[in-house]
């Protein structure tokens, strides 16, 4: 394990107190990100990816509450900071790129106003200076004619351009960590390729750590150094991208990899993960994946496995990882 990660999260539990019961959306998630690396946070909808990100930023919507866990960012305990201190971190130290660019830009302000707002707030500079900085930012995210765009409103822009502006806004205060929550799901593939390329280039240029949340294994393989796979609010396994894709250790990762239709291989039938993502008000006993797991035994029903460290960067959350010989459907 790395000695000095920029962000370390341990045993994070975020629960939502609804009328129907307590939804344990995140239940014991641990992860870390090193300086300048990209961590992929993978899972299906409802696996707790977004809530984990929101917990790190401390913007969990009501009725959600962080009930337990440690979150250490650059030596500071994020859970102990006051709201005022947290505000100085949000946007400045940790920036957030949300999923849907159409709903996250304010429709009644121009692009320039939205960018300068962040800059003026965190850097205490004049509006005029902030505006020139904003134009520069638009140029760095490769938007043509920044001087035209800066006076436009979000509805005048395409989805790809809006996502570039969201990225520019995240970059505006030179953060050391960016959390990108499915930044390309709302975009077309050719535009997705542009945005992923841009993110990669910017990360190298500014040496930023990135947490990339996605459900697309292809994007992970393409952009991430390390991967953490989530299922039903818990970590299944974590490791470098090469390790996880070549030799998955958790049955869920194996199933996830083999259910992706691949361009390269045309199979007669896709393998299927039976059933659905569980209800998180009453999650399954023991290992949460056992009702859908091909390898489940009695112990999986009875007892929740530990998240075991198995080597330098790898951790796995499964009783049977030692005996199972899992295959990756995608390794070349």
Partner 1 sequence: MELEVKDLTKHFPVYERGVILKRKLGDLHAVDRVSFGIRKNETMGLVGESGCGKTTIAKCVLYLEPPSSGEVIFEGKNITQIFKKANRAQVLALRRQMQYIFQNPYASLDPRMTVADIIMEPFEVHRHIPRDQWVNRMYELLRMVGLEKYHAERYPHEFSGGQRQRICIARALAVNPKFIAADEPVASLDVSVRAQILNLLQELQQKLGITYLYISHDLSTVRHICHRVAVMYLGKIVELAETDELFDNPLHPYTVALMSAIPVPDPKLKRHRIILPGEVPSPINPPTGCRFHPRCPRRVDICSKEEPPLIEVQPGHWLACYNPWPPKHVFA
Footprint of partner 1 (CB under 8 A): 44-45, 158, 160-161, 188-194, 196-197, 215-224, 241-242, 245-246, 255-257, 259-264, 266-267, 269-273, 276-277, 330-332
Q: Could you tell me the two tokens for 266? A: 């045309």
What's the N-to-C CA distance of the chain in angstroms?
27
Q: Considering the complex, what minimum distance in angstroms separates the CB of residue 75 from partner 1?
A: 31
C-alpha separations of 98 from 18, 45, 180, 214 in Å: 24, 15, 6, 12
Cβ proximity to partner 1, 103 vs 271, nearer residue: 271
Q: Considering the complex, what minimum distance in angstroms separates the CB of residue 16 from partner 1?
A: 19
Q: Considering the complex, what minimum distance in angstroms separates the CB of residue 148 from partner 1?
A: 15
C-alpha separations of 94 from 51, 80, 210, 231, 311 in Å: 16, 16, 10, 25, 29
Q: Considering the complex, what minimum distance in angstroms separates the CB of residue 193 from partner 1?
A: 4
Write out the DSSP string of 229-256.
EEETTEEEEEEEHHHHHHS--SHHHHHH
Angle at CA of residue 274, ends 297 and 26, nearest 5°:
75
Cβ proximity to partner 1, 79 vs 215, nearer residue: 215
Distance CA 274, CA 79 (A): 38
Q: Considering the complex, what minimum distance in angstroms separates the CB of residue 218 from partner 1?
A: 3
Cβ proximity to partner 1, 146 vs 175, nearer residue: 146
Q: Considering the complex, what minimum distance in angstroms separates the CB of residue 158 from partner 1?
A: 5
3-state secondary structure of 102: helix
User: Any bridge partners for residue 315, and if so which?
Assistant: 238, 309
Cβ proximity to partner 1, 33 vs 219, nearer residue: 219
């Amino acid at each position: 394990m790395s000695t000095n990660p920029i962000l370390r999260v341990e045993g994070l539990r975020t629960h939502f107190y609804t009328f129907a019961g307590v939804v344990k959306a995140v239940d014991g998630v641990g992860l870390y990100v090193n300086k300048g690396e990209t961590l992929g946070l993978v899972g299906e909808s409802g696996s707790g990816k977004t809530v984990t990100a929101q917990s790190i930023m401390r913007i969990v919507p009501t009725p959600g509450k962080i009930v337990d866990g440690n979150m250490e960012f650059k030596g500071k305990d994020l859970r102990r900071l006051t709201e005022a201190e947290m505000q100085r971190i949000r946007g400045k130290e940790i920036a957030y790129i949300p999923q849907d660019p159409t709903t996250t830009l304010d429709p009644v302000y121009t692009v320039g106003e939205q960018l300068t707002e962040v800059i003026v707030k965190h850097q205490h500079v004049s509006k005029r200076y902030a505006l020139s900085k904003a134009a520069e930012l638009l140029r760095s995210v490769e938007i043509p004619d920044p001087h035209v765009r800066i006076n436009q409103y979000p509805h005048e822009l395409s989805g790809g351009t809006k996502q570039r502006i969201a990225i520019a806004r995240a970059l505006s205060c030179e953060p050391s960590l960016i959390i990108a929550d499915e930044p390309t799901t709302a975009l077309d593939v050719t535009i997705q390729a542009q945005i992923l390329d841009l993110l990669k280039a910017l990360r190298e240029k500014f040496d930023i750590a990135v947490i990339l949340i996605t459900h697309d294994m292809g994007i992970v393989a393409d952009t991430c150094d390390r991967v953490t796979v989530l299922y039903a609010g818990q970590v299944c396994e974590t490791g470098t991208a090469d390790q996880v894709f070549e030799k998955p250790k958790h049955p869920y990762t194996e199933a996830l990899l083999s259910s992706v239709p691949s361009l390269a291989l045309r199979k007669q039938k896709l393998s299927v993960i039976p059933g659905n993502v569980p209800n998180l008000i009453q999650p399954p006993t023991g290992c949460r994946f056992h009702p859908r797991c091909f390898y489940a035994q009695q112990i999986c029903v009875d007892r929740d496995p530990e998240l075991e460290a198995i080597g330098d960067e790898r951790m796995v959350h499964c009783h049977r990882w030692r005996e199972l010989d899992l295959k990756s459907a995608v390794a070349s």
